[in-house]
Amino acid sequence: MKAVLSTLKFIVVFLFVSLLSNCTHSPKGFNPIHGFTPQANSQLEAFFIKTQVETGRKVAVFDGDGTVLGQTPHYLADECMYMYAKKKPEKKPELLVEMGKIRNVSMRYVQGRVEYLAGESVTFLRDMGEKCFNQHYSKKIFEPSRRLIQVLKQHGFEVWVVTGSPQVLYQQFLAKQLDIPIINVVGVKSVVRGGIVTGEMVPPIPQDHGKKEAIETFIQEQPLFVAGNSRGDKEMIEYSRGLRMIVNPDEHVAPDQKQSIADYAKSENWLIVRIRDVPEPGFPSISSKAFGIRINKTRDVKSD
């Protein structure tokens, strides 16, 4: 009889521990993200429920400028570079003249940034990017995006940033601000020799279709979630095998397009969010005032 009672006691304890363990590892809940509409939060909640059963790597990829970081009136990469250039007028003036004549979202311009910064150390450029962020962009991290990144990590996602800006300039401050590994910030890479950044770029260049190729090459996993903000992120966003998100999509129809990226996103049922992005008071705007670089559009809307 004692043996039977002992066995029953063991079974009861086992079942209780198993039940407790299951409760401890039950699917995480989802708290709506402040700044996103109820509809957006509903889509996100459904996404997290669906991906809880995923096995293997769960990857989420964000663009940088305009997606996690405000870009008005200028990209940090431009303002930082031109602030540096103003202090060193003797450095590669012919390259700056060439860059001033082309669109600052073109492949050649993106490459030009790296060519201009070549010759400095990795440490110097990482610190320069962080200093520029602290001085002029510290309030421009999009809080809804930051919170979404936190939730993704809580649900077991690897979070990456893929940007068309110079990698060494963005790695340090973005890794700290988003609490992700520094190697998870992928930008335009260049060969480093003896700690010095060269002008030799490592393909693929993460701009336009190159962003998708950068994911395939450097992350090597098809993402479950991708977020961007412009036509230049289209191929990357479409590479997501799960949720596709776009921030502040442009309503303008480009000359080589039949519809705006905003209309395209609607037709493809992407998650569309709006986040306020306006210039900070006292912003120096060296990019436009001293070098004639175009001013990015202001998004003077309240976060939904």
- Checking if the pLDDT of 29 tops 50, the result is yes
- What is the Cα–Cα distance from 32 to 44, expressed in whole angstroms? 9
Tell me the two tokens of residue 73: 């009136």
- Checking if the pLDDT of 4 tops 90, the result is no
Q: Specify whether the backbone of 198 is left (phi greater than 0), alpha (psi in -120 to 50) or beta.
A: beta
SS3 102: coil
Contacts of 298 (CB under 8 A, 6+ apart): 72, 73, 277, 278, 279
What are the structural domains, with CATH classification, of the chain? Answer: 35-291 (3.40.50.1000)
Mean pLDDT value of segment 156-180: 98
Asked if residue 296 lies in contact with residue 74, where contact means CB atoms within 8 angstroms, the answer is yes
Tell me the two tokens of residue 239: 């590479």
- What is the Cα–Cα distance from 248 to 231, expressed in whole angstroms? 11
pLDDT at residue 7 in the model = 47
Comparing CA positions, the residue from 50, 43, 125 lying closest to residue 81 is 125
Mean pLDDT value of segment 239-262: 91
Note if the pTM is more than 0.85.
Answer: yes
pLDDT at residue 293 in the model = 96
- What is the Cα–Cα distance from 58 to 62, expressed in whole angstroms? 14
